[in-house]
Amino acid sequence: MTTVQIFTIVASMLGGLALFLFGMNTMSDSLSSMTGGALDRIIGIVTKNRWLAFAFGTLMTAVVQSSSAITVLTVGLVNSRIMELAQAIGLVIGANLGTTATAWLLSLNAIDGQSLLMTIIKPSSFSPFLAIFGVFLMMFARSDRKKKIGSALLGFAVMMIGMNLMSQAVSPLREVPALQEMLVSFSKPALGFLFAMVFTMMIQSSDAVVGILQAFALSMGITYGMAIPLVCGAQLGTCITSILSSMGTSNNGKRTALLNLYYNLLKVLPFMVIFYALNQVLHFSFLEQSVGGIGIPLFHTLVNLLGAAVWLPLSRVIVSLANRTIPFSAEEKEERASVLTMLDPLLLSTPRFALEQVDKAMKILAETAEEAFSTVGKLKTDPGFEGAVRTLCKRVERYRDQIEKYITDISLNSIEPELAPQVSLFTNANTAFSSIGLLVGKILDHYKAILASGDPVSEETRTETRVLGSAISEIIAITVTGFDLKSATLYDTIQLYREEITNMSEIVKKRHVRRMHQEEGRHSLSTLFTDICYIEEQLIDYCDLVADALIKYSRQEGQEERMSEEMRDKKRKQIKALFRDKYSMLQIENEQ
């Protein structure tokens, strides 16, 4: 064979490979973009059941013609918390089975027949017609969806043309002894496996490697002994795509890439070991036979079916391996504990039920904000509570984000008009209770600054701030209870409390300033204490916001219940008596 002939074959082979990869990527990208964000939401729902996730992953990969696209998408969905790691394994196993559809499609080119019908159903025959139709849609269609359909059809046609070009290019090589010797060397399991794995890692597509192998099979008589290790190596090598896509993602994103890697390791390596161990005893004669047109897709499918049958029921083992490889940090464990599981996406289609779940979630948010303020008060006597306060404040933020997103998703549906007041109430209450958590974080920072200053804090200051904090805790507790009961009288109660607490806060600030100015060099400490008082007064503003939202909600529901003047006077006397008995501070009444 001359140098010119070799150059022509190599150029044709590379051109065919380029067209094959370009067509596959174009078709995959076009089909994926047609689904838009809807695919994310659908996957988040169907993956609640691993068997359903497996079926969906198989179907989507067969349609998109790229397991890498689905596994990379899965990494992104887990990284963005749309689904959990345990939900992803079914999708990953399904994607590995679905990718065998490409090999079956390519095998149609091996159909041998003289009739018009047999010729038409060969992809290499009908793909030019798809190409021209795809170009027509891309040039003349007005809608983006039709243009994407045209792009997908063109991508498929180019992929088939590239496959056909590779097959024709390698056909003359059947007479080259050196190449025949190289192919025979691939019948050594380890060598063939490693070659296919490395080559697949380089081009990042097992479908492309299987396609090249099928092109050789159609032209050069590849045997089962050569094909089996090459197909197995390609399946492991394709894991590099999901691993690379996980770089820069969260630990959960990296664990998802490991799911794909571990599944393929556990699927391929035991199969190779068992198969070749049996071959040593049984001496399989078919290993010397040509794979023909369907041998490669048949074996490719068999390995993935066996892998799915064994490991889908044992999927927790693979998830556990990924979790053990990248252990959960303390922050991740807290984040997992902060998931509001009642906010189920499946209920979004029924807004009334979904809002009932929001109500439950709001109760958890409100109680967590209340606990955060209660815990920050313990810092006055024990600095060891700082970590607990930080945890509670972060938990409030996570609850806020989850509730806000869920309410937004509910609002995107066509909700009944009578549900609008409830949506408004939850939106305002979510803002109020989460803001309480934010202010608690500021109080914590001030207490830390006081402790870091090293200046001694007088017993009087400790007593007064503790009593004021207790009064604030009570009004927050009343707000939480009032919201839970949807009480319209909460507004009047908070206003009455505000009068007493505002007076108390003013006196506490005056006493702080007076004591601090009596001792030189402690003006900064005085500012920190008075700032805490101002922040605590802001807490009442957010309690007010909840109460105001409840009043509006009650009016819209036609259930407004406000206190009468007589009841207000009675309530005021009760609150004054309560403050006198429970929150008296060194004859504080005489200073008002």
Which residues 6+ apart lie within 8 Å of 24 measured at CB? Answer: 65, 66, 102, 155, 159, 205, 207, 208
> Helices 206-220 & 100-107, crossing angle to 10 degrees?
30
Judge whether 83 and 256 are in contact, CB under 8 Å.
no
Judge whether 422 and 553 are in contact, CB under 8 Å.
yes
Most confidently modeled of 56-65, 363-372, 507-516, 561-570? 363-372
The model's confidence at residue 582, banded by pLDDT at 50, 70 and 90, is: low
Query: Is residue 589 scored above 70 in pLDDT?
Result: no
Q: What is the mean pLDDT of residues 259-282?
A: 91
pLDDT score for 563: 60
pTM: 0.59
| Residue closest to 83 by CA, chosen among 119, 55, 124, 49 | 49
pLDDT score for 518: 65
The model's confidence at residue 218, banded by pLDDT at 50, 70 and 90, is: low
Q: What is the pLDDT of residues 356-380, one digit of tens each?
A: 999 999 999 999 999 999 898 887 6
Coarse DSSP helix, strand, coil percentages of the chain, rounded to the nearest 5 percent: 85, 0, 15
Higher pLDDT, 36 or 359: 359
Higher pLDDT, 556 or 315: 315
Query: Is residue 561 scored above 70 in pLDDT?
Result: no
The model's confidence at residue 144, banded by pLDDT at 50, 70 and 90, is: confident
Query: Is residue 426 scored above 50 in pLDDT?
Result: yes
Share of the chain above pLDDT 90, in %: 13
Q: How would DSSP label each residue in 455-486?
A: ----HHHHHHHHHHHHHHHHHHHHHHHHHHHT
What is the identity of the amino acid at 69? A
Judge whether 484 and 366 are in contact, CB under 8 Å.
yes
Quickly tell me which residue has 């007493």 as its tokens.
Answer: 500
Q: How would DSSP label each residue in 14-49?
A: HHHHHHHHHHHHHHHHHHHHHHTHHHHHHHHHHTTS
| Residue closest to 164 by CA, chosen among 296, 299, 12 | 12
Q: Is 433 left (phi over 0), alpha (psi -120 to 50) or beta?
A: alpha
Q: What is the mean pLDDT of residues 343-366?
A: 86
Q: What is the mean pLDDT of residues 145-162?
A: 80
Judge whether 456 and 419 are in contact, CB under 8 Å.
no
Contacts 24+ apart (CB under 8 A), 281-284: none
Higher pLDDT, 495 or 371: 371
The model's confidence at residue 588, banded by pLDDT at 50, 70 and 90, is: very low
Q: How many secondary structure helices (H) and strands (E) does the chain include?
A: 25, 0
Domains in the chain with CATH codes: 3-327 (no CATH), 329-454 (1.20.58), 456-592 (1.20.58)
- Cα 226 to Cα 164, 173, 287, 411, distances in angstroms: 21, 16, 8, 58
The model's confidence at residue 67, banded by pLDDT at 50, 70 and 90, is: low
Query: Is residue 348 scored above 50 in pLDDT?
Result: yes
Cβ atoms within 10 Å of 486's Cβ, excluding its own: 15
User: How far apart (Å, rounded) are the C-alpha atoms in residues 503 and 494?
Assistant: 14
Q: What is the pLDDT of residues 509-521, one digit of tens each?
A: 777 777 766 665 4
Higher pLDDT, 293 or 586: 293
pLDDT score for 587: 43
Query: Is residue 476 scored above 70 in pLDDT?
Result: yes
- Cα 176 to Cα 163, 181, 187, 323, 492, distances in angstroms: 21, 9, 18, 50, 95
Spell 375-404 as b/e; 16+ CB within 10 A means b.
Answer: bbbbbbeeeebbeebbbbbbbbebbbebbe
Q: What is the pLDDT of residues 119-133, one digit of tens each?
A: 665 666 667 888 888
Q: What is the mean pLDDT of residues 255-279?
A: 90
User: How far apart (Å, rounded) are the C-alpha atoms in residues 250 and 155?
Assistant: 33
pLDDT score for 361: 92
Q: How would DSSP label each residue in 101-120?
A: HHHHHHHGGG---SSHHHHH
pLDDT score for 170: 57
- Its sign, for the CA torsion 282, 288, 291, 292, is negative
Q: What is the mean pLDDT of residues 327-340?
A: 75
Higher pLDDT, 32 or 552: 552
User: How far apart (Å, rounded) are the C-alpha atoms in residues 67 and 59?
Assistant: 11
The model's confidence at residue 109, banded by pLDDT at 50, 70 and 90, is: low
Cβ atoms within 10 Å of 317's Cβ, excluding its own: 12
pLDDT score for 459: 73
Q: Which two tokens stand for residue 109?
A: 């080119």
Q: What is the pLDDT of residues 1-21, one digit of tens each?
A: 567 766 777 787 778 778 767
Q: What is the mean pLDDT of residues 580-589?
A: 54
Q: Which of 97-101, 195-199, 268-272, 453-457 has the lowest mean pLDDT?
A: 453-457
Q: What is the mean pLDDT of residues 485-493?
A: 79
Query: Is residue 413 scored above 60 in pLDDT?
Result: yes
SS3 583: coil
Q: What is the pLDDT of residues 431-459, one digit of tens each?
A: 999 999 999 999 888 888 877 776 666 77
Cβ atoms within 10 Å of 110's Cβ, excluding its own: 17
Judge whether 340 and 404 are in contact, CB under 8 Å.
no
User: How far apart (Å, rounded) are the C-alpha atoms in residues 248 and 524?
Assistant: 43
Return the DSSP state at 523: H
Instruction: Report the run of H or E that residue 432 belongs to, with start and end.
Output: helix 420-453
Burial class (CB in 10 A: 0-12, 13-18, 19+), 419: middle
User: How does the average pLDDT of the chain come out, rounded?
Assistant: 78
pLDDT score for 590: 42
| Residue closest to 29 by CA, chosen among 17, 41, 19, 21 | 21
pLDDT score for 431: 94
